[in-house]
C-alpha cells in the first residue's frame, strides 16, 4: 500500500497531547485522524451539498483500524482516503496513515451509510452521487 493509491490525502501533525501514559499516540487518536480524512474526502467531493437537496446526509455505520506501528511526538502524517465499494445505501472507505518517520503505521476502513435524518432510516445513494464517486475514483 502506497500513498499514491489514495484519491484524497491530508497532512496531520502529531500533537504532544495525543500521547498517552505509555509515551506513544493513544489508539483512539488514530480514529480521529481517519475521521479528519473522511471529512476531507466529503469536502473534496462536496458530499453534503450533493445530499442536502435530497434531505439526506452521511452517517458512520462501522469503522476499524489495524495498528501497524506506534506513533510518537513529534511527527508529520499523511492520511490517505478512497472509496473502494459502493452499495445501494452505503459505501466503504479505505484509509491509511503514513508517518514521515515510520512509513505506513495504520490502515482502516469505514462504512458510510446515506441517512434520511427526518425519517431516521437509511436511504438509497442518489444515482448522480454514485456516478460522481465512481468517476472521482477512476
CATH of domain 3-137: 3.10.129.10
Longest dimension (CA), the chain: 48
> 33 falls in which pLDDT band (50, 70, 90)?
very high
Q: What is the mean pLDDT of residues 42-58?
A: 94
> 100 falls in which pLDDT band (50, 70, 90)?
very high
Element (H, E) at 129: helix 127-137
Residue 135's beta-bridge partner residues? none
Kindly report the pTM of this predicted structure.
0.94
> 22 falls in which pLDDT band (50, 70, 90)?
very high
> 26 falls in which pLDDT band (50, 70, 90)?
very high
- 73: pLDDT strictly greater than 90: yes
- At residue 42, what are phi and psi to the nearest 5 degrees? -55, -45
Residue 85's beta-bridge partner residues? 92
Amino acid at each position: 500500500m502506497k500513498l499514491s493509491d489514495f484519491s484524497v490525502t491530508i497532512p496531520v501533525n502529531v500533537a504532544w497531547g495525543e500521547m498517552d501514559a505509555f509515551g506513544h499516540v493513544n489508539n483512539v487518536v488514530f480514529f480521529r485522524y481517519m475521521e479528519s480524512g473522511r471529512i476531507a474526502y466529503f469536502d473534496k467531493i462536496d458530499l453534503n451539498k450533493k445530499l442536502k437537496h435530497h434531505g439526506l446526509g452521511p452517517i458512520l455505520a462501522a469503522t476499524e483500524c489495524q495498528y501497524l506501528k506506534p506513533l510518537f511526538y513529534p511527527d508529520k502524517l499523511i492520511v490517505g482516503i478512497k472509496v473502494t465499494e459502493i452499495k445501494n445505501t452505503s459505501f466503504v472507505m479505505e484509509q491509511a496513515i503514513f508517518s514521515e518517520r515510520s512509513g505506513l503505521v495504520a490502515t482502516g476502513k469505514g462504512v458510510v451509510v446515506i441517512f434520511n435524518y427526518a425519517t431516521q432510516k437509511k436511504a438509497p445513494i442518489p444515482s448522480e452521487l454514485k456516478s460522481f464517486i465512481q468517476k472521482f475514483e477512476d
